[in-house]
Amino acid sequence: MAKKQEKAKKTKKKGRTLSEPLRGAVIGYGGAFNMGRAHCQWMEATGRMKAVAVCDVDEARLKVAQEELPGIATYTDAAEMLARDDIDLVTVILPHNLHASVAIQCAEAGKHVIVEKPMCLTVEEATAMIHAAQRAGVMLSVFHNRRWDGDFMALREIVQKGLLGQIFHVEMYGGGYGHPGTWWRSDKAISGGAFYDWGAHFLDWLLNLMPGKVSGVTGFFHKLKWWDVTNEDNVEAAIRFEDGAVAYVQMGHLARLGKPRWKLLGTDGAVVDEGGHFRVVTEVAGYPAELRVPYQESTWNAYYVNIAEHLLDGAELVVKPEQARRVIALIEAAEKSSASGVTQPVPYE
């Protein structure tokens, strides 16, 4: 089996000749959630990729990488690692404010690039990343792996089967009550703000359910309690689509009482998340009907399977950089709206 995986399958993609297995590397092996190890394992689990290198400025973390990934090459200098001709793909797992510059550096070194979510902090940065990848003839994608969450896949199937009819109202909620923490994810200059963490997943979900163009975003950002950190305590956005549908998204740390993650209303039905399953109220053949639809099984590794199929077989890339830029555009517009008190348009290139 190993010999089969190591076979010299040559594929021309994006101007580079690739061999199977693809040789991957990660930049950033921090201890939080151990995402460096997770990405390397997801690469290997495809059977068509091999994790060969890790880069981190913290030598202690590189020792951990060597223990967790025997035989892995380690670097403290990204440029040194990127100089290797045998690395095909690099995944960037760094604080949000570094995503754009490092992704561009990887693209300019001729490497295909995956960036952890969120893509970056601004639409300007996202556009610069896309253009850098286009100039270099390499792939750029963002790790929106939550498209393969079991709850979202079940909800998407409900929508696609037409049980709700035309959707005109969406509510999305994520949060609770408690101090947001004191590390870099709570530092607005580094993280971008409270919308850039789970909010990036929520907005990517929304845009996959409702891909139509957005006509305006109204934002409401609050800083009321946790003064020792710089991220907002609560962020909300009302997103209006050109067809008149509206979505309300809320994330934060000031809600002692929450609400379901999902509630959708359509012309023919409605759905609400009840934890572990969705309650769907609709009609079948003209008769009122109520359904209990369980979550599907999450399949996060499908993201890397698609990357391998895209680079080696020419399959369509599922998470396109232009899609990830739309997420950043919504967040940026929401913050501008909150500061100005005026609904903001959403720029698309």
Is 134 in the same domain as 162? Answer: no
Q: Is the pLDDT assigned to residue 300 strictly greater than 70?
A: yes
Say how many domains are in the chain.
2
pLDDT in tens, 181-231: 888 999 999 999 999 999 999 999 999 999 999 999 999 999 999 999 999
pLDDT of residue 12 exceeding 70: no
In this structure, are 287 and 161 located in the same domain? Answer: yes
**Domain termination site, one of 143, 173, 196:** 143
Please compute the mean of the pLDDT values over residues 317-340 and round it to a whole number: 98
pLDDT band at 16, cuts 50/70/90?
A: low
**What pLDDT is recorded for position 14?**
46
Do residues 40 and 54 share a domain?
yes
For 33: left if phi > 0, alpha if psi spans -120 to 50, otherwise beta; the answer is left
Instruction: Answer whether residue 77 shows pLDDT above 80.
Output: yes
pLDDT band for position 8 (50/70/90)? very low
Looking at per-residue confidence, does 279 or 30 come out higher?
Answer: 279
Q: How confident is the model at residue 164 (pLDDT cuts 50, 70, 90)?
A: very high
Quick one: pLDDT at residue 349? 52
**Higher per-residue confidence, 7 vs 338:** 338
Does residue 349 sit within a domain? no
Among 143, 172, 195, the domain boundary falls at 143
pLDDT at 67 over 50: yes
pLDDT at 174 over 70: yes
Write down the pTM of the prediction: 0.94
The pLDDT of residue 70? 96
Q: Name the domain boundary from 119, 143, 167.
A: 143
User: Do both 97 and 127 map to the same domain?
Assistant: yes
Any idea what the CATH number is for the domain that residue 52 is in?
A: 3.40.50.720
CATH of the domain at 163: 3.30.360.10
Q: Based on the domain organization, do 93 and 175 belong to the same domain?
A: no
Residue 307 lies in a domain: no
pLDDT greater than 80 at residue 11: no
Its domain, for residue 164, covers 147-301+328-340
Confirm whether 323 is domain-assigned.
no
Give percent above pLDDT 70 in the chain.
Answer: 95
pLDDT (tens digit per residue) in 131-140: 999 999 999 9
Mean model confidence pLDDT for the chain:
94
Same domain (yes/no): 102, 192: no
Res. 249: pLDDT tops 70: yes
Q: Assign 159 a pLDDT band (cuts: 50, 70, 90).
A: very high
Do 156 and 49 share a domain, yes or no? no
Band of residue 17 on the pLDDT scale cut at 50, 70, 90? confident
Answer yes or no: is 345 within a domain: no
pLDDT at 25 over 70: yes
The per-residue pLDDT for 192 is 97
